[in-house]
Amino acid sequence: MNARVVAALLAAVTLAAGCSSSPAPPTAVTVAPATVTPAGAHGITAAPARADEECDREASLRPRSQPAPGAMPSGSTMAAIAERGRLVVGVDQNTYLFGFRNPSTGQLEGFDIDVAREIARAIFGDPDRIDLKVVDASQRESALTSGKVDVVVRTYSVTCERRRSVAFSTVYFYANQRILAAKGSGIDSAADLADKRVCAVTGTTSLSTLFAMEPRPALVGVATWTDCLVMLQQGQVDAISTDDAVLSGLNRQDPTVEITGPPSLAVEPYGVGINKDHEDLVRFVNGVLEQMRADGTWQRLYDRWLLGLGPSPGPPAARYQDP
């Protein structure tokens, strides 16, 4: 009888001691890993604005008799530029191979810049008489209409919508929209993108093409193409899709990715943008481009800058709207 009482007492004492000796520990702080995304990155769910109007976008004005350098016809736009002494060109400094700043020299270089130099050479006989002004993609039309620049040579895709406010030269380069993804990712066609996250710059024609895909991939819009590469490297997106010219520049910066998919998801014709009122300058620039196609200059520039895109397809043929 006593033994049972003692046992019960012991149990009670042990329980009481156990309770009082382990107060709840103070709560430890826990935080989630810091999440980072490039500034302005956002999911694209609404259709990007895109003019669906139809037109013969690539047809330009036929060149007349081409004046010799230094002998511009008086009263023409070219004569005014010659008078000023320099050709003012709107360019990019951020697109590798087309218009970019060489880190070792600090100079702007690229295929677009060299095309601009050829125009200066045709006016002055000197390719260095140019002023390069950095313009953003969204400023290209306003820079031309306000007269801030004479021409824009800046991976400028000819579209029907843009043709309503500015004039374009004939096409000097065809870019193809393709896909950049990690090697061994298994992404090999547009259909493979279906359930993947794909990055593109907001407001570009590339994004519109991606948005129109059926089924539509999960789209992320960012400010610049290098932001897309950061997101690809950090595993935040599975692929990037835009012009092969841009993708090739990104591929050079990361050996673990590759350009893949069909040869062309969409074709982007690049032209020189010119003020709509300066028809004489449009014809003159087309004359310069004709000459570049004919005398091998175009080929030389392609070989200098764009061989990484593959063997030269040859200069694009000119199309004119007038006989």
Partner 1 sequence: MSVLSAARAAAPLNGTVPSLRRVARTTPGVVVLVALAVVVCCAVAAAVCVADLNHRIAEHNTVLQRSEPFAYAAQNLYAALSEADAAAASAFLSGGIQTAAMRERYQQAVAAAAAALTDVTAGATDEDLRTAVADIAAQLATYTGLVEAARANNLQGFPVGSAYLREASALMQNELLPGAEQILARDLAAVDAGQRSVGSVSTVSIVLLSLLLIGTAVGSWILARRTNRQFNLGLMVAAVCVLVAITWIVVATRLAAADIERSRSEGTARIEQLAKARILAQRARTDETLQLIGRGDITAGEQSFQAHIDELLAQLDAGPPAAVSGIQRWTASHQKHVQAYLDGDYPAAVSQAIGSDPGASAAQFGIVEAGLRDEVEKTRAALREHVSTAGRALAWSPVGTLVLLALAGVATVLGLWPRLKEFL
> Mask 241-280, x = binds partner 1 (CB under 8 A)?
--------xx-xxx--------------------------
Alpha carbon 94 to chain centroid, angstroms: 9
Going by C-alpha positions, the residue among 119, 115, 146, 149 that lies closest to residue 132 is: 149
42 lies in the site for partner 1, by CB under 8 A: no
134 lies in the site for partner 1, by CB under 8 A: yes
Are 249 and 109 contacting, i.e. CB atoms less than 8 angstroms apart?
no
Between CA 109 and CA 123 the distance in angstroms is 20
Nearest CB to partner 1, comparing residues 72 and 222: 222
Are 204 and 228 contacting, i.e. CB atoms less than 8 angstroms apart?
no
| Pairing outcome for strands 218-222 and 173-182 | unpaired
For residue 257, the SS3 value is: strand
From the CB of 133, what's the least distance to partner 1, in Å? 6
Q: Which stretch binds partner 1 (CB under 8 A): 61-69, 79-87, 129-137, 175-183?
A: 129-137
Which of 5, 19, 24, 39 is close enough to bind partner 1 by CB under 8 A? 39
H or E stretch at 174 = strand 173-182
Nearest CB to partner 1, comparing residues 18 and 33: 33
H or E stretch at 225 = helix 225-233
202 lies in the site for partner 1, by CB under 8 A: no
Which of 61, 63, 81, 96 is close enough to bind partner 1 by CB under 8 A? 96
What phi and psi values does residue 56 have, to the nearest 5 degrees?
Answer: -90, 85
Between CA 266 and CA 93 the distance in angstroms is 24
> Mask 139-178, x = binds partner 1 (CB under 8 A)?
x---------------------------------------
Which of 5, 138, 184, 195 is close enough to bind partner 1 by CB under 8 A? 138
Which of 227, 238, 243, 280 is close enough to bind partner 1 by CB under 8 A? 227
Nearest CB to partner 1, comparing residues 97 and 171: 97
Nearest CB to partner 1, comparing residues 99 and 287: 99
**Beta-bridge mates of residue 198:** 219, 239
Q: Supply 197's token pair.
A: 């996250």
Which of 104, 128, 183, 235 is close enough to bind partner 1 by CB under 8 A? 104
Number of neighbours of residue 143 by Cβ within 10 angstroms: 22
Going by C-alpha positions, the residue among 161, 195, 168 that lies closest to residue 316 is: 168
Q: Supply 258's token pair.
A: 């590759």
Which of 62, 86, 129, 133 is close enough to bind partner 1 by CB under 8 A? 133
Question: Which residues here bind partner 1, judged by CB under 8 A?
Answer: 27, 29-31, 33-34, 36-39, 91, 93-94, 96, 100-101, 103-104, 106, 108, 131-139, 223-224, 226-227, 229-230, 233, 249-250, 252-254
